[in-house]
Amino acid sequence: MPDDAPGPEFSNDAERQRYEWRVDGELAAIAEYDLRPGRIVFTHTEVDPRFEGQGIAGRLAKAALGDARARALEIVPQCPYIAEYIRRHPEALDDPSPPS
């Protein structure tokens, strides 16, 4: 891979109310949410089939939860994937470090 090729990229598309994970500029995964006063309700997580099996959903969940914690939002995991991620990684709710 050339040195100037883009790598993984995490972002928050506030207008669409979703976190995005891009790989080499391509949208690989999303975590949709409903932002309410003081809280964020995670509603759906999806990985493009071309990127499945690469651990992208977990990296996206970690980054999204980290961003929500850094913003001091109460996290409400209605999405089954986010709920399971929190169950397996309870420390994700304690770590307000910025996403990487």
Predicted confidence (pLDDT) per residue in 49-71, tens digit: 999 999 999 999 999 999 999 99
Q: Is 100 helix (H, G, I), strand (E, B) or coil?
A: coil
Do the bridges between strand 74-77 and strand 39-47 make them parallel or antiparallel, or are there none, so unpaired? parallel
Domains of the chain, each with CATH number or no CATH: 9-93 (3.40.630.30)
Q: How far is CA 45 from the centre of its chain?
A: 8
The type of residue at 82 is I
Over residues 21-28, the mean pLDDT reads 95
Picking from 47, 65, 45, the residue whose alpha carbon sits closest to that of residue 56 is: 47
Residue 96's pLDDT is what? 55
Residue 95's pLDDT is what? 53
CB 61 within 8 A of CB 31: yes
